[in-house]
Structure 1
Amino acid sequence: MTTYRCLIVDDEPPARKLLSDYVSKTPNLELAGVCSNGQEALRFLQEFPVDILLLDIRMPLMTGMDLLNELLDKPLTIFVTAYEEYAVKGYELDVIDYLVKPVSFERFKKAIEKTVEYLSVQVSPVESTEKPDYFFIKTDTRIVKFLFSEIQAIEAQREYIKIITPTRKVMSLVSLTSIANALPGDFVRIHRSFIINMRHIDEVQSNDVVIGKEIYPISRNYRDEFFKKLDDLKLL
Structure 2
Amino acid sequence: MIKCLIIDDEPLARSLVQEFLQHHPDIEVVQECSDGFEGVKAIMQHQPDLIFLDIQMPRITGFEMLELLDTAPGVIFTTAFDAYAIKAFEANAVDYLLKPFSQERFDAAVKKWLMQRSNKSANAGGSMPQEDAVQQPEEQVRIVVKAGNDIRIIPVGDVLYLEAYDDYVKVHTASGYFLKKKTMGYYEHTLSPTQFVRVHRSFMIALSQLTRIEPFEKDSHVALLKNGVRVPLSKTGYSRLKAVLGI
TM-score by length of 1: 0.50
TM-score by structure 2 length?
Answer: 0.48
